[in-house]
Amino acid sequence: MSLRTVLILFVAVGVLAALGMFWNQHAIERVMRDGYGTTGKIVSAEVTSSRFPFVFDGGWPRYVDESLSIGLQWTGKDGVQRERTGIAVSAVYAARITVGQQLKLVTIPIQAVDDDSSLPVVVEDLDDHLSHIRSTSRFLLAGAGACAVLLVLLMGWQAWSARRSEPGSAAIAAASRPFPVILGVLTAVMLPFGGYMLVTSYFEQSTLKEILDHGNEITADITRAYGEVSKAGDAPSYLVILAWADRSGQRQTYGPTHISSAFWRQITRNDVQTVRQTKIRYLPGKPDARPLIVDDAAERQYQDSIGIKSGAAFLAFGLILAGVTAFRYRARPAAVDR
């Protein structure tokens, strides 16, 4: 497989995934515009595999843009009881409707359209879900755009090499030289991942400094505290969901956000939450900025530091892989195709 083929594949996957996200966003906005408000009951939930992010609703595959999807039952305006599955919910909302591995079969406000093609929208999850869709779409388009730029540069270099050389020359052989796919894929993963981690951790660290210098301190409610285990035998990670009223009286929520095991022991007894409030610092006018839990500030600083160091390490490893990939590509003869 040549480098051009790999880049074309990455561009195609990124664009198709972004189109799927855009279609989901458009469908949500249409239901909110044309639908009616009612209530629905959660009847099921399904964890979506990242390898195959689709569910089959009525026999048709449907792209799911979150890790958890739920099934809802409701009675339409026409008096017909309806049920739909594969309704994606954000991680924040998933934490509200689950207790450990148990699903809360509760009644919730929804927006619905009485047709067979539209999924109902969970009203309480609208902002978080759309925010996730938009941020993921931007990330996918940025990755596809970077691969498209590399593809254009590669095609330009190959065309320039062909014009400079006579047919059958070494330059044309180099243009068709097989590409070390595994090294190339690792490079394509490590470079953007390391860069993304480094940049996001840097901005998180900058936000933390701004919170310490200019943030407002207030007592927030801990609406939920829980532990998660990614797989059997692993140590749990602890998370909380925070809620507070800002100085204008507007209700704000944030979470789930990670906390340290030390802070977990402060707010629980025998792994049951006993403390319902904690002091936080937040940035007014920036609801997406992660607030600082005052009694857990050391953990926040540690997380940001680890993120920067890990991002730099991944980025450096990606650059090393890029050098090795280029060396292997230039060193392999055109006749060899492994």
Give the residue carrying structure tokens 């388009």. 141
Q: Are 273 and 116 in contact (CB under 8 A)?
A: no
Please report, in tens digits, the pLDDT of each residue of the chain (338 residues total): 577 787 788 888 888 888 888 888 888 999 999 999 999 999 988 877 666 666 555 555 556 667 788 899 999 888 889 988 888 888 778 877 887 668 888 999 999 998 877 889 999 888 888 888 888 888 888 888 888 888 888 788 777 777 766 555 554 455 555 667 677 778 877 888 888 888 888 888 888 899 988 889 999 999 888 777 655 556 778 888 899 988 888 888 887 888 998 999 999 988 888 999 999 999 887 877 889 999 999 888 888 888 888 889 988 988 898 888 888 777 665 544 44
End-to-end CA separation in angstroms for the chain: 9
Could you give the CA distance from residue 328 to residue 282 in angstroms, rounded to a whole number?
50
Q: What is the pLDDT of residue 264?
A: 92
User: What sign does the dihedral 329-332-334-338 (CA atoms) show?
Assistant: negative
Residue spans per domain, the chain: 29-122, 177-338
CB-CB contact of 55 with 47 (8 Å): no
In 127-169, the DSSP E strands lie at: none
- Residue 22 parent element (H or E): helix 3-34
- Predicted model pTM: 0.54
- Measured CA to CA, the distance from residue 256 to residue 227 in angstroms comes to 11
In 3D space, the residue among 195, 199, 201 whose CA is nearest the CA of residue 303 turns out to be 201
**Residue 88 exposed, middle or buried by CB count within 10 Å (0-12, 13-18, 19+):** buried
Helix (H, G, I), strand (E, B) or coil at 78: coil
DSSP assignment string, 62-99? EE--SSEEEEEEEE-TTS-EEEEEEEEE-HHHHHHHEE
Alpha carbons 252 and 243: distance in angstroms, whole number: 6
Per-residue model confidence (pLDDT) at position 40: 93
